[in-house]
Structure 1
Amino acid sequence: MGFDNGTTRKHVAFLFLFAILVYFVGNGSLTITDPVESNYTETAKEMLASGDWISPRIYGDYWYDKPVLFYWELIVAFQLFGVTDFAARFFPCLFLTASLFLTYAFGRHLYGARIGLIAAILLGASVEGWYVGHAVITDTTLFFAMSAMLAAFYLGYTRCGRRWVAWYYLASFLAGVAVLTKGPIGLCLPGLIILVFLAWQRRLKELLSLHILAGFVLFFAVCATWYVPMVELHGTAFLDTFLGVHNVLRATVPEHPKTSTWWFYLAVFLGGFFPWSVAGFPAAVKKMLHRDIHLPKDAATRFLVVWAVAVFVTFECMATKYITYTFPYMMPLAILFARYFAAHVQLTRVVAGAMTAFLVVAACVIASPKMDDHSGRLAAEALVPLAQQLEEESGETPIVVSYRTDYQTSLVYYSGILVERLEDRATIERLRPDGISWNAKDVMPFRAIEDLPADRDIILVTGAKGEHGGELEEKDLERSLTGEWKELTTAGNRRLFVRLAEK
């Protein structure tokens, strides 16, 4: 797997330039969006401000949604580049770039340098690869850690190199990294892949290898760096929410029932692996028509097939479905598809060139305004000077509430102002986190309508015209919230109203 010849050096240089062009150019103009990206960035921002790098927190309260590794990445990026959009997207882009080199190296080891290069291009110039490589989410780190772990296991299994046992220990370390990134799935999913592959190979005794068993010691040591302090600091509150809600509940009760359909991940494959899923479709149909489909006999292809199928089936069986959940199958898919596209060089060049150009344009021109539609950045730019003006005039910080619209964590992130979700007392009680339920995600600060003080300035944020909540007018607010309300401005997808304190 070493990069020791001229061809490999040219491939590495090409992939490096490709990654810079497709994954780093235009990053600074991509706004942090709701509802997912902003949770990560606001949590990292608050952890950095608090000086506590162990306990994730949001809105001043502890937050047990995900393990700590991705927050550490964001904190490091914020320290290096400041709290900017470029910094937030730096490590996702970096790990996707690393994943391209990993795909190249592993594909090169299995089938040769040409296959490895094409596989890396298929991964990098795909819709889902581009999306995950730019998104401020855990999936890119998980993808790299899990893919590298499985590749390391396979190299140990095939006794690659004189010191082949080191691959097993590297796999154990990377499994710990995956669990620090997204929880138990970081071990359970690759463990299932390895188990099925070894059963197919009739080599289950490999699991009893001293080096694999000893590797678990390393795995637990890596995990203990964060999980042990969290249990000691937060006890059952951490275990119930992190394991109970964000792992067990997510697997058994759909968070978004509309996506819980049997065809959801088929659509994700076609759209996410575009354009290669479409470009390779004629060959797939031809194979089916000629009944040229058979189980692979060589270990390498078996391993890739088990890897891809196990990921798909596992998440197909889970109740909660997300677009990015099946992303870990992209590396084996890219390597397997590369064998077809290697025989169609001209097609590959044309499609890859067109897709690369489109992705660069998407990052620099298309994505930014679309992302602003799902972000509170523009509203924050209007909110901050307004809040400062009211504070200067009254000598007291105004209360900021979000009313009859989707709550935007990005508004808090960009403005640095705590925004409370305004509801009546009965709704607040219904939404309050209690036990193992999806209410555990409603951690934003609430304020009851009945408790709005008359002697404080109030800034109210609601949906823009045509958006959810955008039908509100001043008279509607005066009727439902009392007092004299004045609409000040529309900023992006939000409108700002103000009610001055009674003199």
Structure 2
Amino acid sequence: MYEFRAKQEDVALSVWQRLWQKIMASPAAILLVLAAILCFVANHLLVVTDPVESNYVLTAKEMLASGDYFSPRIFGNYWYDKPIFFYWELIAAFKLFGISNFSARFFPALFGMAGILLAYGFTARLYDKKTGFLTGLILLTTVEYFYLSKAIITDMTLFVFYSACLMAFYIAYSEGKPRWYYLAYAFAGLAVLTKGPIGFFQPGLIILLFLVWRRDLKALLHIKLFSGLILFLAITLIWYGPMYAMHGSDFVSQFIGVHNVLRATVSEHPQFNVWYYYSAIFLAGFIPWVFTLPLAWRDYGLTRKIAAAWREKRLRLPALSMKTQFLIVWAATIFVTYQLMATKYMTYTFPYMIPLAIGFASYLKKYDRLVLNMAGIVLAIYVAATCTVIVPQCQQASAYDAAQVVSGLADNETAVVTYGGRYPVSLTYYSNHPAYRLEQADDIANKLPGGISWNAKNVMPFMAIEDLPNHPKVLAVVRDRDEAHFLQEVPGNWKWRTQKGIWAIYQKEADL
């Protein structure tokens, strides 16, 4: 009996070893296939959502229509919420595939695949192929990475450029390959073109703190500082130079003043400005792998070590390798700096995902069966959830259906207005009719952009309720919970036409 069980265990072990041999024969290719499936599955069905994704696609759509590929514009107005690179991605995708859901999500998905390969390659270089494969697999199957590989926002592009910058620096520094410093400067330039000054200053701070820990500030003399900065400026000035020449102080005050300085000092979302915000984001974003943390606690004997330190009344820090120091500084600096910023947003700390995934892979390496089983289950869940849950949820978070109704009912003389709820930019994007935000005249004056304030984000067109009688043909898209207020506050003979998601559509009829 015991011999039979032993033989079964030997067979299972042999099968498992052969499986790993096959995986290690082409780990990058396997990760690439898995990433392609997850990043691209059902993207053609995922409509553009409000309030963030629709800003990007409508801006790119208007830039494409205008033929001006330098100045971001929305609702016919210039605006400076983000730099240019992500808009260039969207414009390129629209030119390649036409304006569609798939094209809008094409480059986030493509960069999602690139991020997995980047994580694999860097980790394999630091450790070994198996650790690299597990890092890529863990990263791919986290909730946050899955979400951002499909989201039409700048963060996945920034993640790749930001991570590549730090990786290039570390390879140059640790392996004595100074030409890699130029790659670090180049990727920093691309990060600044994607998100702004944070793409340079934060990686720079990480590098500086790492060198301080290493007591090797003299290395700053050897990182190609002068020629590297020339390369960095040559890349960034491709856009920042013409933008300043064309828009001058408006560009500086809005882009730097509002979207960088104000964001760091005045909370855009005060309800999120709490000390535990990014700890909660980590726990949620790293599902399902956070549930394996007790294994690390047990394997590293942390309870015993903490008890010993308590008895001895002193904390002894373990000797750490250079690569471990770098990964710790990388993750910790991102976490702390964003925690200190006034405006908090769930994706800001996303660039710390690679060092954290490497940390998970390092202690889960001996639990490789667990990792493969969990990853397989999670991948299947994500694919199924995308088709059955996320597709309809995106539909609910978009005015796509309402836009189809507007397209059928409105002509060139119809004024399309919205009332209540968060302004649905996707209504204009999908219907090709500019939708006006309906407000009292006195309230409009207080909401228009001006100066260094969060009103800079109110770039949608407004229409005063008092001016509605001047428009005989009006379609009103009303948030369902605000219908009673709308009918009470807005004069006119309104006929209910239909409801699509959270939006009810009313048509103005001639007064009797």
> Could you state the TM-score of these two structures normalised by the residue count of structure 1?
0.93
Instruction: Give the drift of 1:492.
Output: 1.8
Q: How far does the alpha carbon of each residue in 1:408-458 deviate from its partner, in whole angstroms, 9 at most, with x for none? A: 001111111100001011110111112111111111000111112345201
Residues 1:167 and 1:9: Cα distance change in structure 2 (over 3 Å): farther
- Give the alignment of 1:145-294 within 5 angstroms: 145-160=161-176, 164-209=177-222, 211-284=224-297, 287-291=301-305, 294=317
Instruction: Give the drift of 1:349.
Output: 1.5
Query: Is it true that 1:316 corresponds to 2:316 in the alignment?
Result: no
Q: Is the 8 A contact 2:415 2:471 kept in 1?
A: no
Would you say how many aligned residue pairs link Structure 1 and Structure 2? 482
Residues 1:425 and 1:92: Cα distance change in structure 2 (over 3 Å): same
Q: Which residue of 2 aligns with 1:69?
A: 85
Query: Is it true that 1:491 corresponds to 2:495 in the alignment?
Result: no
Pairing partner for 1:110 from 121, 126, 148: 126
Residues 1:402 and 1:454: Cα distance change in structure 2 (over 3 Å): same
Residues 1:155 and 1:457: Cα distance change in structure 2 (over 3 Å): same
Q: Which residue of 1 aligns with 2:364?
A: 341
- Give the alignment of 1:383-394 within 5 angstroms: 383-387=406-410, 391=411
Q: Is the 8 A contact 1:169 1:215 kept in 2?
A: yes
Query: Is it true that 1:450 corresponds to 2:463 in the alignment?
Result: no
Query: What's the secondary structure of 1:452's corresponding residue?
Result: helix
Residues 1:213 and 1:8: Cα distance change in structure 2 (over 3 Å): farther
Q: Quick one: distance in 2 between partners of 1:6 and 1:22? A: 22
Q: Which residue of 2 aligns with 1:307?
A: 330
Q: Quick one: distance in 1 between partners of 2:438 and 2:133? A: 53
Residues 1:273 and 1:80: Cα distance change in structure 2 (over 3 Å): same
Instruction: Please tell me the root mean square deviation across aligned C-alpha atoms, in Å.
Output: 1.7
Pairing partner for 2:402 from 379, 404, 407: 379
Residues 1:59 and 1:189: Cα distance change in structure 2 (over 3 Å): same
Residues 1:79 and 1:36: Cα distance change in structure 2 (over 3 Å): same
Q: How far does the alpha carbon of each residue in 1:165-207 deviate from its partner, in whole angstroms, 9 at most, with x for none? A: 2210010000000000000000111011000001111111111
Q: Which residue of 1 aligns with 2:416?
A: 400
Instruction: Give the drift of 1:481.
Output: 2.4
Instruction: Give the drift of 1:501.
Output: 4.8
Q: Which residue of 1 aligns with 2:12?
A: none
Q: How far does the alpha carbon of each residue in 1:361-416 deviate from its partner, in whole angstroms, 9 at most, with x for none? A: 122221011111110101111110011xxx3xxxx510011112221001111111
Q: Is the 8 A contact 1:463 1:494 kept in 2?
A: yes
2:147 aligned partner, one-letter code: Y
1:243 aligned partner, one-letter code: I
2:305 aligned partner, one-letter code: R
1:486 aligned partner, one-letter code: K
Query: What's the secondary structure of 2:99's corresponding residue?
Result: coil
1:246 aligned partner, one-letter code: H
Q: How far does the alpha carbon of each residue in 1:283-335 deviate from its partner, in whole angstroms, 9 at most, with x for none? A: 23664312278445211111001101111001010110111001000001111
Q: Quick one: distance in 2 between partners of 1:92 and 1:294? A: 40
Q: Quick one: distance in 1 between partners of 2:24 and 2:225? A: 31
Pairing partner for 2:477 from 461, 471, 481: 461
Q: Quick one: distance in 2 between partners of 1:334 and 1:454? A: 59
Q: Quick one: distance in 2 between partners of 1:427 and 1:9? A: 65
Query: Is it true that 1:59 corresponds to 2:75 in the alignment?
Result: yes
Pairing partner for 1:481 from 487, 490, 495: 490
Q: Quick one: distance in 2 between partners of 1:427 and 1:406? A: 16
1:329 aligned partner, one-letter code: Y
Query: What's the secondary structure of 2:493's corresponding residue?
Result: coil
Pairing partner for 1:353 from 376, 390, 399: 376
Q: Quick one: distance in 1 between partners of 2:255 and 2:23? A: 47
Instruction: Give the drift of 1:482.
Output: 2.0
Q: Quick one: distance in 2 between partners of 1:375 and 1:37? A: 10
**Identity among equivalent pairs (%):** 47
Q: Is the 8 A contact 2:416 2:476 kept in 1?
A: yes
Q: Quick one: distance in 2 between partners of 1:8 and 1:343? A: 15
Q: Quick one: distance in 2 between partners of 1:481 and 1:275? A: 49
Query: Is it true that 1:298 corresponds to 2:321 in the alignment?
Result: yes
Q: Quick one: distance in 2 between partners of 1:29 and 1:9? A: 35
Q: Quick one: distance in 2 between partners of 1:314 and 1:383? A: 45
Residues 1:362 and 1:7: Cα distance change in structure 2 (over 3 Å): closer
Pairing partner for 2:39 from 23, 28, 41: 23
Between stretches 113-122 and 284-293, larger displacement belongs to 284-293
Q: Is the 8 A contact 1:176 1:222 kept in 2?
A: yes
Between stretches 210-219 and 62-71, larger displacement belongs to 210-219
Q: Which residue of 2 aligns with 1:45?
A: 61
Q: Is the 8 A contact 2:23 2:30 kept in 1?
A: no
Unaligned runs of 5+ in 2: 1-20, 307-315
Q: Quick one: distance in 2 between partners of 1:84 and 1:281? A: 44
Q: Is the 8 A contact 2:134 2:365 kept in 1?
A: yes
> Could you state the TM-score of these two structures normalised by the residue count of structure 2?
0.91
Residues 1:452 and 1:263: Cα distance change in structure 2 (over 3 Å): same
Q: Which residue of 2 aligns with 1:124?
A: 140
Q: Quick one: distance in 2 between partners of 1:315 and 1:182? A: 15
Q: Which residue of 2 aligns with 1:410?
A: 426
Q: Which residue of 2 aligns with 1:332?
A: 355
Residues 1:188 and 1:455: Cα distance change in structure 2 (over 3 Å): closer
Residues 1:282 and 1:342: Cα distance change in structure 2 (over 3 Å): closer
1:356 aligned partner, one-letter code: L
1:386 aligned partner, one-letter code: L
Instruction: Give the drift of 1:7.
Output: 6.6
Query: What's the secondary structure of 1:342's corresponding residue?
Result: helix
Q: Is the 8 A contact 2:108 2:148 kept in 1?
A: yes
Between stretches 285-294 and 326-335, larger displacement belongs to 285-294
1:289 aligned partner, one-letter code: T
Structure with greater Cα Rg: 2
